[in-house]
Amino acid sequence: MRPQWFKKVLVATAISSLCFSSAAMAEKTLKMAYALSKDSHYGAGAKAFEESIGKSTNGEIKIEQFANSALGGEREVIEGLQIGTVDAAILSTGATLNFVPQTGVFDIPFLFRDLDHARKVLDGDIGNKLLAEFPKRGLVALAWGEQGFRHLTNSKHAVKTPADLKGLKIRTTENPIHITAFKELGMLPTPMAWPEVQTALQQGTIDGQENPLSVIVSAKLSSQQKHLSLTGHVYGPAVIVVSPMVYDSMSDEDKAKLKEAALAAAQGMRDFVDNVEKTGLETLTKEGMEITQDVDRAEFAKIVHNVYPEFHKKFSKELIESIQNTK
Ligand code: PAF
């Protein structure tokens, strides 16, 4: 016959192990991938996402961050989201448009006037309709984040007018919209996945690349590129995407918390972009870059507008004009 105290210990142990195992069962860690460092706008977005979901679920949903393309380039990450080997990601539309073609409309050069214009479109009906396209391609998109306006860097010479681009071998994303416009401008576009870019710049197999200040600063491209031209040729959105395997297994309550976390991530990225827009040029100058500010953007835009009829055919003139007319 066991003593009374022994029975109490057994019951207490059983209760506590039950609580522990149910807490452990409820706990979930989501793998979140992105292409840049933790110090980038994507890192800022992932941090805000992690903090928000951690807080709203009392730590039941945790985020494990895989920065610097640790789970592969953006294309592989999207495939991972579709099959459930990656749970969440922050991505550029340069990659998503190969899966959700309609998202490419935001990649049309000289479409947005400024950051406010872009944010208004992305946060409004047009942005929401495009988020709703993702489930048709086996992906769940929760919110539009941001990279900022893309500019050109290269190792050869200052670029002020489209004529200065002649013969420059410029890495582009695997983005047919950008490529069409860049060809029209006289560049030699070389599509390449981001993880290969810095080696290609170092080895001189490409002369330059184009990305927003958020990327140029956080990826320290000043160590490989001498010239930065403020072409602002195209706005770069980002999008927070989760795997349907994760999303569909969640309660409505957790889905709402995930959406809230994605909106926090989007805000984190926009705050980063606002800040780098103010401080980035000074940082890059100190790091030795030569910055061309007086770029003839009107001439760049005029040339790119020659290919707008192609974009009208691809995405509908009405959609493009309703983006342009958003005030
Ligand atoms: O240039 C790109 O491929 C993208 O802008 C990057 C740097 C991977 C961020 O999404």
State the DSSP H helix or E strand holding residue 322, giving kind and residue range, or none if neither.
helix 317-324
pLDDT digits (tens, 9 = 90+) for 173-215: 999 999 999 999 999 999 999 999 999 999 999 999 999 999 9
Q: Is the CB of 35 inside a 6 Å radius of any atom of ligand 1?
A: yes
Q: Which atom of ligand 1 is nearest to 69's Cα?
A: 8
Per-residue pLDDT at 149? 98
- Give the pLDDT of residue 51: 98
Q: What one-letter code names the amino acid at 240?
A: I
**pLDDT tens, residue by residue, 232-279:** 999 999 999 999 999 999 999 999 999 999 999 999 999 999 999 999
Residues 6+ apart with CB under 8 A from 259: 142, 143
Q: Is the CB of 194 under 6 A from ligand 1?
A: yes
171: its two tokens: 């890495």
Which residue's CA lies nearest to atom 3 of ligand 1?
Answer: 194
Q: Per the confidence metrics, is the pTM higher than 0.95?
A: no
Q: Residue 232 has what pLDDT?
A: 98
Q: Which atom belonging to ligand 1 lies closest to the Cα atom of 34?
A: 10
270, two tokens: 């926009």
- Average pLDDT of the chain, as a whole number: 93
Q: Residue 252 has which token pair?
A: 């409505």
Atom of ligand 1 nearest to the CA of 236: 5
How far does residue 167's CA lie from ligand 1's centre (Å)? 23
Identify the residue whose C-alpha is closest to ligand 1 atom 4.
92
Q: Is the pLDDT of residue 11 over 70?
A: no
- For residue 297, pLDDT over 50 is answered with yes
Q: Cα of 93 to ligand 1 centre, how many Å? A: 9
Among 13-27, 64-78, 93-107, 247-261, the range scoring the smallest mean pLDDT is 13-27
Residue 231 near residue 298, CB atoms below 8 Å: no
Distance 194 CA to ligand 1 centre (A): 6
Residue 94 Cβ contacting ligand 1 at under 6 Å: yes
Residue-range domains of the chain with CATH: 29-324 (3.40.190.170)
**Average pLDDT rounded to a whole number, residues 301-316:** 98
Rounded to the nearest 10 degrees, the angle between the axes of helix 252-286 and helix 41-56 is 150
Angle at which helices 176-184 and 297-305 pack, to 10 degrees?
A: 110
CA of 192 to the centre of ligand 1 (A): 10
Q: Look at residue 13 and tell me whether its pLDDT is greater than 70.
A: no
pLDDT of residue 23: 44
CA of 92 to the centre of ligand 1 (A): 6
Q: Best of 92, 175, 178, 196 to mutate for ligand 1, by most ligand atoms within 8 A of CB?
A: 92
C-alpha 18 to ligand 1 mean position (Å): 46
Residues whose CB is less than 8 angstroms from the CB of residue 322 and which lie 6 or more positions away in sequence, other chains included: 126
Please tell me the predicted confidence (pLDDT) of residue 317: 98
- pLDDT band of residue 4 (cuts 50, 70, 90) is low
Q: Calculate how far, in angstroms, residue 19's C-alpha sits from the geometric centre of ligand 1.
A: 44
**75 C-alpha to ligand 1 centroid (Å):** 11
- Residue 33 in contact with residue 70, Cβ under 8 Å? yes
Q: Report how far residue 198's alpha carbon sits from residue 208's, in angstroms, rounded to the nearest whole number.
A: 10
Ligand 1 atom nearest to CA at 238? 10
Determine the atom of ligand 1 nearest the C-alpha atom of 92.
10
User: Which residue's structure tokens are 């050069």?
Assistant: 109
Pocket test for ligand 1, best of 40, 147, 177, 224 (most atoms within 8 A of CB): 147
State whether the beta carbon of 215 lies less than 6 angstroms from ligand 1: yes
**CA 35 – ligand 1 centroid, Å:** 7
**Digit-coded pLDDT (tens) for 121-177:** 999 999 999 999 999 999 999 999 999 999 999 999 999 999 999 989 999 999 999
Q: Is the pLDDT of residue 25 over 60?
A: no
pLDDT tens profile 28-83? 999 999 999 999 999 999 999 999 999 999 999 999 999 999 999 999 999 999 99
Q: How far apart are CA 211 and CA 36, in angstroms?
A: 12
